[in-house]
Amino acid sequence: MNKILLIIVTILLPPLGVFLKVGLGNHFWLNLILTILGYIPGIIHGLWIVALDGARPASATS
């Protein structure tokens, strides 16, 4: 999906944007809870997930 379109979807409906990016996993449920508690935290988390672009942080154990 085009990244610009994904960002727009994430701003309008943060859980949908996260779902389209990573599927129905922990990030989706966390974003859904954040969006229910407050729309702005859901947007911030959603944009963070979309901006990661598949990059994973280095593991602290390795």
The reported pTM is: 0.79
Q: Quick: pLDDT tens for 21-49.
A: 999 999 999 999 999 999 999 999 999 99
- Report pLDDT for 52: 85
Average pLDDT over the chain reads 86
Distance CA 23, CA 35 (A): 17
Residue 58: pLDDT band (50, 70, 90) is very low
